[in-house]
Structure 1
């Protein structure tokens, strides 16, 4: 079979000198594929840090409310102080662009400052009120003590002086007089000294008043009690019943003093021992 000769006269197996040159550049290849950039997802913007401003506003409101309540003002200073601190932090975030609620943070600072002022005002007000109440109470105590002291002093008298009780009965105890019991006597030992005490009661009021008492109590200056003398002489008289307005009732009582009794005695008497404190009369027995 005969192979036709190409028009250029070359046989298929023939090579030109360039075909076997090892230093010749390689024939151009196909064009490289076009590279498309990979689409990137959008980077989210940083989230605003508004928490400090919100917290400052809430704490500022709480501080104001507690500061307006007199009984809770002492609790308002802490949230008010925290509102100021968080508010300034929120303002700092707003200045650097990390927060968007500058107005809220500023409001929290203002409310916190007002809350601190309210807490301070409440403290000053409370201290003033407490001091005023304390001073008033002390003044009343002093007045009561002074009144009690004056009343106690007024109820200690000398023989012959008078004391008027609150029911209008004016009582006078005269100076004791020597008393000689008769032969039939109780409460008087041989060697003792007996004295007679006279009690006069005058009704200075407008209504009758009952004398509801026992007997006067007599003691010497050393506090030793004496014994009531009862004899058959009939010279003793006990005040009982009612005393009419403007009228006088007189009681006479004898008491036996031991030989070593002091020369001064004290007589204790009240027209109604259940209602009125006793009055005291004292003085020498001679």
Structure 2
């Protein structure tokens, strides 16, 4: 009998295959989708950029793992890398759009600020009160277009309010007006006066005249003077006044019979201060 007994041989179980590691590719695809969607909103350009970088790196790493046989989602990883690249591009575009919008907003604010204040330019003496005011202004050392009455004096008939952006508003002397039979805004027993307002855009930017408003007060107590509307007066400024062009509108106001003065206030828009004219009736 042999000293060593031969042991029986048993078949060995097959070695289980290594589990596929698809996490990188899947994560790259998810981050790429989120990054691309974020890139559609310019404000989130920073998020699209961060996710795009991560998705691109993970997608390329996942594709390399799939090539080595460690993953089975090569296509998913490639899609994630592509979406990551798209997210990066959209991030750059979004940043450009956002920064340009901010820059335009700053320029608009600067433009609005530069055109907000007005200086007084006396009339040429052709309108009531203009010659008197001109002499008064010259006596103070002022000149046309100077900033001599920005805070104190109210303009008179024929004077112009000249804004920093070279927008000029001029008002004529008041003229007695007889409202029509179907006029709106006129009270029986009151008097009516009309004025002509001219807007001269001597600046470099177009002016939206549709925002111009007019209000008036009459008499020593400053009673509100209603604007009169009929077939001859009551028109308003409309449209756009291009650089170098003018626009004209005629306003009529209802005043108490004993009123001796009419204060008319013209507000060009939200970016220009209102200017007032005190007119002698």
Give the structure-2-normalised TM-score: 0.48
The structure number with the bigger radius of gyration is 1
Length-normalised TM-score, structure 1:
0.47
